[in-house]
Amino acid sequence: MKELLTDRVAFITGAGSGMGKAMAELFSEEGAKIVATDINEANVQGTIDDVKKKTDGLAIKMDVTKSDQIKAAVGQAIAKFGKIDILVNCAGGVIGKSATSPTSNSIVTLPEEDFDLVIGLNLKSAFLVSQNVAPHMIEKKYGKIINISSLGAVHPPQSQPHYHPAKAALLGLTYDLAVELGQYGICANAIMPGVIKTAFYDQMLATKPKQFQEEFFDMLAAGTLLKRVGTGKDIANVALFLSSELSDFVTGAVIYATGGAPLRKEGK
């Protein structure tokens, strides 16, 4: 059977771990050449080491909040592969101004600096990367842009007045990209993941007993209709659809990949 991404070039941010890494690996299996970027140089090199078992790839250490680094990385990708067909804006997260002073989740106590950091990482980054990649897609009259939002953008499980608004605004950016770039044959869509078991949770629960960790994920799974938490591969599969010709008539769409959350069975 023909590979879905033969001869395509995918530029993926946040590809050193989690969902971004899963996308890089799956896309490479489907024939795409991979440009993997991440602020963690060792992690992103590990991703490309895996990718190169199947196809060609390029690892780039890049801070998605720095426009000069983004411009340089896109330039490296174009110099090596001559084009970028697929852009996945996957980098994101919740960060504080220091490791010893984590960001607050309260509107009352959230530091302005932390608000700016999280907006920059989750929203401005996608704007900057898309701004640098779009001209190359316009030139080729083809492109697929995928923004990774969050279910918390529209159904926040708790207060995060920096992260959730950033992910909500990312949906607005997706719509604008679709409106502006559709005339050039470029599709822009968003994925809204629910609870996905990634290194984020591994780090958060690292000091907790194994039983606590198991019960924690059981609790999260109980909040879905499918009674399980998601994996990076689950999100990568949706991204594969949006990156391939199977979605050539899909733009300006938001796909929930949440195991059915926030829907609830009656009485539950």
Residues tagged active-site: 163
d(CA 121, CA 103): 14
- Tell me how far apart the terminal alpha carbons of the chain are, to the nearest angstrom: 43
Instruction: Identify which of 53, 52, 55, 79 has the alpha carbon closest to the alpha carbon of residue 6.
Output: 55
Q: How many CB atoms lie within 10 A of CB 72?
A: 14
Answer yes or no: are the C-beta atoms of 4 and 240 closer than 8 Å: yes
* CB contact set of 124 (below 8 Å; sequence gap of 6+): 65
* Structural tokens at position 49: 């080491």
Structure tokens, 232: 């990076």
How far does Cα 121 stand from its chain's mean position? 11
- Contact between 47 and 261 under an 8 Å Cβ cutoff? The reply is no
| Cα–Cα distance measured from residue 74 to residue 79, given in angstroms and rounded to the nearest whole number | 9
CB 229 within 8 A of CB 19: no
* 8 contacts 240 by C-beta, under 8 angstroms: no
Beta bridge partners of 229: none
